[in-house]
Amino acid sequence: MVAGRSVPTYKLVGTLLCTWLGSGTLLAGAGLAARVGLSELWLAAGAWVGIVIVFFLAAKVRRIAQYTVPDILELRYNKYARILGTIVIVIAYTTIVGYQFRGGGFVLNLIADIPEWQGVLLTAGFIIAFTAFAGMLSIVSVDIINGAIITVAVIIAVPLVYFNLGGSEYLTTELDPQLFSLLGGHSWIWVMGVFFPTFLLLLGESNMYQKFYSAKSEKAAKNAVMLWVVGTIVIETAIASLAIIAFSHFNSLDPGSLMHLAVADSERIILHTARFATEVGIPLAGGLLLICAAVAIITSTGNSFLLTPSTNLTRDIYQRFVNPKASEKRIIFFQRLMVLVLGVVAWLLLTQFRTILDMAFTAYTMVGAGLTPALLAAFLWKRVTTAGGVASIATGMGVTILITIINSFGNEPLIPYDYIVLPAAGLSILVLIVVSLLTPPDPKEKWGKFYEEEKVELGDVL
């Protein structure tokens, strides 16, 4: 679950980067950038700001020394917070795993002409098997390779495409200037709708906390966060830029051409660029490297987001309530079984959404509204009460599920997916504050551990 709490900084950076950069970035984010331009980076910027805030929490989280986020919720609130938090994570993370499967289907269809549904099944089988047998230790090791491939492939591709298509002259004469504006023609309400899902998701991201518990020291956790934010900004900006430039070219081609890419297929732009790499000035080897980066992004995110909810079900439900005296062998067997079950559920969830972007916004909001307010309050607000925390989790989760169900009935969603975070998170935070202020303060033994002074060791100073 936590790799023996021995992961050094360089491995932690790699696995944090690879976990965050999934199909949500490669497909949904790139597709949005292709359609609206650099204003798509408001979606990415939510994570960047979240990472900066996480820098100040990383050592404290590592010091609490738990295995999962629901561990923290029970420590600060009660067992009901643990159960609700586990449900939130399982629903959100299996949704995220589901669109990694779809991303794998896109890749296999592209490079081997395998029908997309078969590609989804093959991807699901691989990710489930690897996660079940690898665990955290192997995942963080493989992610060093994945992180290097992703970084090199994207950074090489952008300048090659840019100069091959004509450089600054191409941008000024062929592309709509609005693609490079701050808002891209949208309102600030839209900006908040795309900013807050990633911002709140990252602050409550269980994968991140579980990886902090894996760090060999508090210093390693904080150093990893500093490098993580730099890597995320560089790579997500490069992917958005590549998507905008490449899509403008492929979309302008004759619709009857094999290389033409319609707006409806914009989520495939990075993979399409890799497939027709030489058309936009990328050597064949560069196109292959870009395909490898896509595979690395999809599999690494799928592995991590499958490992976390299986850990939650194992530790927070099975070990906590069903079999507290279970042996380590029994625990590992149960977790592997949960990996299989959740993998199947993730595959089934694919049928409930029209696009990867819709799935991403729903999953992000589930965590951001259902988990993040209560989790942050545990570290930042002494006055939050047990009742307030539990009510907040239930409200955020309930509102997100209700909106998603209502949206699934019509041809068009009642509330667009890029806005659902506003009512869900808004009500969750409001309930957290109101209920906490209306109920008696918790005793110090409930919140004291979250505010202990950080111990500075001689080794850290040197």
The mean-pLDDT minimum among 110-114, 169-173, 259-263, 355-359 falls in 355-359
In this prediction, residue 213 has a pLDDT band, given cuts at 50, 70 and 90, of low
Highest-scoring range by mean pLDDT, 19-33, 213-227, 266-280:
266-280
Asked if 342 and 398 count as a contact pair (C-beta separation under 8 A), the reply is no
- pLDDT tier at 456 (50, 70, 90 boundaries)? very low
Mean pLDDT to the nearest integer, 296-317: 85
**H-assigned helices in 77-165:** 79-112, 116-164
Residue 254: predicted pLDDT? 92
CB-based contacts of 122: which residues, under 8 Å, 6+ apart?
104, 108, 114
Q: Higher-confidence residue: 340 or 460?
A: 340
The Cα 214–Cα 369 span in angstroms is 26
Residue 66 has pLDDT above 70, yes or no: no
Contacts of 422 (CB under 8 A, 6+ apart): 189, 192, 193, 196
The first and second tokens of residue 203, run together, are: 């602050």
Per-residue pLDDT, 457: 45
pLDDT band at 461 (very low <50, low <70, confident <90, very high): very low
pLDDT confidence tier of residue 60, bands split at 50, 70 and 90: low
Q: Average pLDDT of 181-207?
A: 86
426 — pLDDT class (breaks 50, 70, 90)? very high
Domain range annotation of the chain: 3-353
Q: Six-digit token pair at 102?
A: 């779809």
Nearest of 113, 117, 19, 35 to residue 357 by alpha carbon = 35
Nearest Cα neighbor of 31 from 295, 280, 262 is 262
pLDDT score of 178 more than 70: yes
pLDDT in tens, 222-257: 788 888 888 889 999 999 999 999 999 999 999 988
Residue where the block lists tokens 């259902």:
370
- What's the rounded Cα separation, in Å, for the pair 307 and 361? 21
Task: Return the pLDDT at 386.
Answer: 96
Q: Which CATH number is associated with domain 3-353?
A: 1.20.1730.10
CA-based nearest residue to 153, from 279, 287, 58, 275: 287
Q: Residue 300, CB half-sphere, CA atoms under 13 Å: how many?
A: 31
Check residue 394 and give its pLDDT: 97
Locus of tokens 């210093």: 219
| Alpha-carbon separation of residue 139 from 305, 311, 318, 335, 368 (angstroms) | 11, 14, 23, 15, 25
Sign of CA dihedral 233, 234, 237, 240: negative
Q: What pLDDT sits at residue 453?
A: 57
Mean pLDDT computed over 100-116:
89
Q: How confident is the model at residue 111 (pLDDT cuts 50, 70, 90)?
A: confident
Distance set, CA 326 to CA 90, 207, 264, 311 (Å): 22, 24, 50, 14
DSSP-derived letter for residue 412 is S
pLDDT in tens, 128-158: 998 888 766 666 667 777 778 888 888 899 9
Give the number of other CB atoms < 10 A from CB of residue 148.
15
Confirm if 320 and 70 have CB atoms less than 8 A apart. Answer: no
> In whole angstroms, what is the distance from residue 447 CA to residue 236 CA?
37
For residue 54, give both structure tokens: 């996480």
Say whether 7 sits in a helix, a strand or coil.
strand
Distance CA 39, CA 199 (A): 16
Mean pLDDT of the region 296-319: 85
Model's pTM, two decimal places?
Answer: 0.80
Tell me: pLDDT of 50 over 60.
Answer: yes
Please state, rounded to an integer, the average pLDDT across all residues of the chain. Answer: 85
Contact 161, 278 (CB under 8 A): no
Asked if residues 261 and 268 have their Cβ atoms less than 8 Å apart, the reply is yes
